[in-house]
């Protein structure tokens, strides 16, 4: 567990992960469009890869196994990340790039709206 924690600390020192805070002013946040959602997902997945590289046992795996492991759990990582950032917010999802998805988001984000209503 200490190696996992140390890996997280190393990645956090290189990247601002947007840790949850109860004093977020939503009026300063941009409503996410599809590109913002994709950019946030890309950013979070890159952070996941960087984090994994700091774990010695992960580095000992073959490249194929590393890719398979990351792919198998990327979805959970993305969902848990947005859930963690949004726990203290009501009817809003806070993405890793500080954009937001509201419960009543515009129709052009209809598939995303389904996620935000759960």
pLDDT of residue 114: 56
Residue 73 pLDDT greater than 80, yes or no: yes
> Topology of 3-15+28-102 in CATH?
Retinoid X Receptor (1.10.565)
Q: Which two tokens stand for residue 23?
A: 């004093």
User: Any idea where the domains of the chain sit in the sequence?
Assistant: 3-15+28-102
Average pLDDT, the chain: 82
pLDDT tens-digit series, residues 30-62: 999 999 999 999 999 999 999 999 999 999 999
Distance CA 63, CA 85 (A): 31
Mean pLDDT of 9-15: 62
pLDDT at 115: 54
Q: What's the residue count for the chain?
A: 118
pLDDT category of residue 75 using cuts at 50, 70 and 90 = very high
Q: What mean pLDDT do residues 53-74 have? A: 95
Flag whether pLDDT at 27 surpasses 90. Answer: no
Q: Identify the residue whose tokens are 């988001």.
A: 105
């Amino acid at each position: 567990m200490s190696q996992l924690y140390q890996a997280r600390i190393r990645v956090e020192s290189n990247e601002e992960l947007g840790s949850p805070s109860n004093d977020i002013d939503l009026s300063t946040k941009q409503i996410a469009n599809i590109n913002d959602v994709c950019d946030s997902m890309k950013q979070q997945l890159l952070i996941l890869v960087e984090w994994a590289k700091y774990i010695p046992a992960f580095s000992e795996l073959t490249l194929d196994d590393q890719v398979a492991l990351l792919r198998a759990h990327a979805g959970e990582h993305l969902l848990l990340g947005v859930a963690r950032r949004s726990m203290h917010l009501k009817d809003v999802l806070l993405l890793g790039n500080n954009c937001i998805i509201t419960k009543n988001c515009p129709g052009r984000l209809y598939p995303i709206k389904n996620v935000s209503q759960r």
